[in-house]
Structure 1
Amino acid sequence: MIAPLPVRASVRGVQHEYQRLNNCGPVTIGMALSRWGGTLNQYAIAPKLKPYGGDVNVSPEELSAFAQAQGMDVHLARGGDRTLLRSLLAAGFPVIVETWFITHDSGGMGHYRLLTGYDDASGQFSALDSYLGPLKMNYAKFDELWRSFGRTFLVVTPPEKRAALSAVLDWRADRAREQAAALWTAQREAARRSDAVGFFNLGQAHLDAGKASAAALAFDQALAATPDRSLDPTRPAWVQGGLAWRTLWYAFGPFEAYTRTGQYGKVLSLTGAVLRSVPTHEEAQYWRARALAGLGRTSQAQAAYREALRVRPSFTEARSALDDLDENT
């Protein structure tokens, strides 16, 4: 019989740091590492994760790779839930979550937070926020912000905690079962809510399961849905489709699904919209290059790959793809 979770729990020994511009990723991974004795701050981490100062996004995969380079284990997945978060926190594991974040002046954007505790009596998570500082987040309101990124979470642990983490994750330690559960949840939520976020999460869950065609159809539905203005208060008039303006600054599932299904025109349209706002967006340049290569526009693809590598010289996929193009031209 599984023991009930305590009514409240708090993870000790985590150091908070306030961020500089666009540094929530470097700061949050540094805070997570501090739980296990890490002393790196954003000034040491950011130059590694985002050597070009104009980089507006550090992906969960980049955070994971950085932590692993420090000798840590990382469990990165989508489809988390409140019970899992509470279980991890009760066991002493802080959790990085990728959430939507809304400010009056800048509007909606992606933002990492580090959960460090919970209290069922008040119905709140405790979080360390690199922008706002330590804060409490109502369970339901937090989930609405978290679902914008498919309830993505990262748990960073030293290798000696591997067995303890696996015990908490239980069946989620099996990647195939975890992805299947995320797809099941996404299907039901998309059917129930029929909104852009739900369809977007469904597309990503299909893509994670290797179903590019199904993913592309779900992303079509997300893009055709009615925009939720509450998530996007500063949305420019030229932005089209159901997704919040900055969604594709952080999440690249549509680029991949449309590339894998040969819908290169859609990739060029979507990446063009991102690059209109952020000309230095390396992931948009990478997927744009993939689409251009698919269309046989080799010299333009090479230029886009080179731009991606200028922004992030360590972009392995872009380097490999460019090398392949160079060898065959």
Structure 2
Amino acid sequence: MPLRWMLLLWCGWSAASAQPVSVTLKNIRHEFQALNNCAPVTAITLLGYYGTQVTQAQAANAMKDYPGDPQVTSLELAGYLGRAGLRSVIRYAGDAELVRALVARGFPVVLQQRLQTGSNVAHFRTVYGYSKGQFLISDPLLGPSLRLSTAQLMALWQYYNGEYLVAYPPAREAEVRQILGADFSAAANWQHLRQHGEQDVKARPNDPYAWWGLAKAQLRLGDVRAATESFDRAVRLGVPTVYFLYRQEAFEAWTQAGQHQKTVDVTQRALRAYPNSKELTGFYDLASAALRKATVPRSTTGVNGWHPISSD
């Protein structure tokens, strides 16, 4: 194994988990981000760890749809890393123990979280170490040595339903499969997320992000009716407009269910804030075209009495 994958610090071992109780990975390159550049900085952090050097500007130019694009998705990040020779898996319902297991084996873990408590801004962070009760994180905005307690990490992670990305050289895929177990399979991970989501909405019935995670799993598992109901619940509870810039699964569900007015109503509102979003524009155009083709008159309140709720 190349030395850059080895661990810098091993301070004792946990007999219960057969993992070191404290780990810090070396060769973690940090750079403070330019505006809306957390994804490009995350990319150069991962690529640098595995031995490929690119600049923040190069990564941003390759990943963004236009200069100043405020949103790069996990899929776009994975695609860029793939062009550099790394494979990636994006999974959900992650937990602190899984993050420790990956880091202990030499894999930095990218988390999709909210920027800070009370913020609606999405943010990529790279976990590259841990010790008892806390995690060591390279944060493109807050610095190279951000430390979060387990409770803080999990609270910020709920916003994105425990979404994580693991990038690795193809030769190390067997290790990633072993650590993730059943969750290496996307289908199995959607089942895991649905179970997790069902537990979350029982524990936090007024949490729109819990309902969103359940809805996303239901959609990916083919239960469109249940997904639309869960997405509707999330919107009624107060999903902020910016969330639709980062996630568009509700539009997918409403499109499949033929509930195009819902998509038009929400994307219109979101596009007033983010007029250059190709994702929002694409779903708005698709839904508008479907409504133009419809022969059944629509009421002014929308399909089935739908009333979108602004929740910013």
Give yes or no for TM over 0.5: yes
1:1-329 mapped onto 2 (5 Å cutoff)? 3-102=17-116, 107-120=119-132, 123-134=133-144, 135-194=146-205, 195-225=207-237, 242-296=238-292
Moved more, 94-103 or 62-71: 94-103
Whether contact under 8 Å (1:274, 1:281) holds in the other structure is no
Deviations along 1:138-164, one digit per CA (max 9) or x if unpaired, are 111111111111111111111111112
AA aligned opposite 2:137: A
Tell me by how many angstroms 1:74 deviates.
Answer: 0.6
Moved more, 203-212 or 62-71: 203-212
Secondary structure, in 3 states, of the residue corresponding to 2:29? coil
Q: What is the rounded CA distance, in whole Å, between the counterparts of 1:43 and 1:111 in structure 2?
A: 18
Structure 2: gaps of 5 or more residues? 1-14, 295-312
User: Residues 294, 2 of structure 1: CA spacing in aligned structure 2 closer, same or farther, 3 A cutoff?
Assistant: farther
Q: What is the rounded CA distance, in whole Å, between the counterparts of 1:256 and 1:214 in structure 2?
A: 13
AA aligned opposite 1:179: W
Secondary structure, in 3 states, of the residue corresponding to 2:240? coil
TM-score, scaled to structure 2:
0.85
Match of 1:311 in 2: none
Tell me by how many angstroms 1:297 deviates.
Answer: 5.9
Relative CO higher for 1 or 2, CA cutoff 8 Å, sep ≥ 6?
A: 1
Whether contact under 8 Å (1:10, 1:92) holds in the other structure is no
Q: What is the rounded CA distance, in whole Å, between the counterparts of 2:60 and 2:168 in structure 1?
A: 20
Match of 1:237 in 2: none
Secondary structure, in 3 states, of the residue corresponding to 2:67? coil
User: Residues 56, 216 of structure 1: CA spacing in aligned structure 2 closer, same or farther, 3 A cutoff?
Assistant: same
Tell me by how many angstroms 1:103 deviates.
Answer: 8.3
AA aligned opposite 1:109: V
Tell me by how many angstroms 1:295 deviates.
Answer: 1.7
How many residues align structurally? 278
Tell me by how many angstroms 1:9 deviates.
Answer: 1.3
AA aligned opposite 1:212: V
Structure 1: gaps of 5 or more residues? 226-241, 299-329
AA aligned opposite 1:41: T
Tell me by how many angstroms 1:209 deviates.
Answer: 1.5
AA aligned opposite 1:244: P
Q: What is the rounded CA distance, in whole Å, between the counterparts of 1:133 and 1:76 in structure 2?
A: 24
Tell me by how many angstroms 1:248 deviates.
Answer: 1.0
Q: What is the rounded CA distance, in whole Å, between the counterparts of 1:108 and 1:174 in structure 2?
A: 30
Q: What is the rounded CA distance, in whole Å, between the counterparts of 1:170 and 1:149 in structure 2?
A: 21
TM-score, scaled to structure 1:
0.81
Deviations along 1:250-273, one digit per CA (max 9) or x if unpaired, are 011111111111111110111111
Alignment root-mean-square deviation, CA: 1.8
